[in-house]
Amino acid sequence: MVSHERIYQFIYADQSQGGKLYKHLRTGNNKYKKRYGKHKNRREIIKNKVSIDQRPEIINNKERFGDWEIDTIVGKNHKGAIITVVERKSNFLVIRKLTTKNALDLAKQTIRMLAPYKDLVHSITSDNGSEFAEHEYIAKKLNANFYFAHPYSSWERGLNEYSNKLIRQYIPKKSDFNNFTSMDIFQINNKLNLRPRKLLDFFSPSELLFNNFP
């Protein structure tokens, strides 16, 4: 079975060679949206990145539990951040506040967040933000593989993007994160994990994950 990631890669490869397949995408003209704090030149400081192109099909096709996507949500005036990590097969989400987007601070928080699920962490996929510069430290501590999506290709982490939109139902854009305590974030996290999803045959992410890994 061909994954949707591979289909998109084929379409964009066709576009780069002058093809017209991209015009059939829902996004139409395929304009890229600027991501604050993700300046092109900043990607160069991340060393030893492993491209999503090297990610095995068992991950792309969601054939197992334990493959995660990671991202950050930034607060009003780019102050404060929330780290979001979602498991690809179950949609199980883990979110926590960050005091800074410093790469080492983010790495340590990621390790703490996923430590309770360490036996269920096979891989993590992120975008190219400089906050993920300590990816090797994360991978070593969690005994996992770490992959990077292509620049400006948010669809390669589509579940993470969708999960962030769900979080935004509780924490709208331009919110001051100082108005949300760690307990507030924890409660939002629980509500999302306990919400039944049509995509999951009306199981909740928590049910799907823990019914398979009690």
Question: CB atoms < 10 A from the CB of 98, how many?
Answer: 20
Q: Does 167 score more than 80 pLDDT? A: yes
Going by pLDDT thresholds of 50, 70 and 90, the confidence category of residue 149 is very high
Instruction: Verify that 165 and 201 share a domain, yes or no.
Output: yes
Would 43 be classed as within a structural domain? no
Q: Does 67 score more than 50 pLDDT? A: yes
Going by pLDDT thresholds of 50, 70 and 90, the confidence category of residue 33 is very low
Instruction: Verify that 180 and 82 share a domain, yes or no.
Output: yes
Mean pLDDT to the nearest integer, 1-23: 64
> Which residue in this structure is represented by tokens 């979110």?
95
Distance of CA 207 to the CA centre of its chain: 21
Torsion of CA 157, 159, 165, 170, to 10 degrees: -130
> For the chain, what percent of residues have pLDDT higher than 90?
70
Domain total in the chain: 2
Instruction: Verify that 178 and 115 share a domain, yes or no.
Output: yes
CATH number, domain containing residue 79: 3.30.420.10
Instruction: Verify that 67 and 11 share a domain, yes or no.
Output: no
Q: Does 46 score more than 70 pLDDT? A: yes
Maximum pairwise Cα distance, the chain: 51
Instruction: Verify that 13 and 112 share a domain, yes or no.
Output: no
Q: Does 17 score more than 70 pLDDT? A: no
Q: Does 40 score more than 50 pLDDT? A: no
Instruction: Verify that 23 and 59 share a domain, yes or no.
Output: no
Instruction: Verify that 88 and 5 share a domain, yes or no.
Output: no
Would 41 be classed as within a structural domain? no
Would 33 be classed as within a structural domain? no
Burial label for 24, CB within 10 Å (0-12, 13-18, 19+), is exposed
Instruction: Verify that 17 and 68 share a domain, yes or no.
Output: no
Q: What is the mean pLDDT of the chain?
A: 87
Would 39 be classed as within a structural domain? no
Would 35 be classed as within a structural domain? no
Q: Does 9 score more than 70 pLDDT? A: no
Strands 145-148 and 123-126 turn out to be parallel
Instruction: Verify that 1 and 88 share a domain, yes or no.
Output: no
State the Cα–Cα distance between residues 69 and 141, nearest whole angstrom.
Answer: 17
Q: Does 22 score more than 70 pLDDT? A: no
Instruction: Verify that 143 and 181 share a domain, yes or no.
Output: yes
* Pair 199, 91: CB distance under 8 Å: yes
Domain that holds residue 156: 49-212
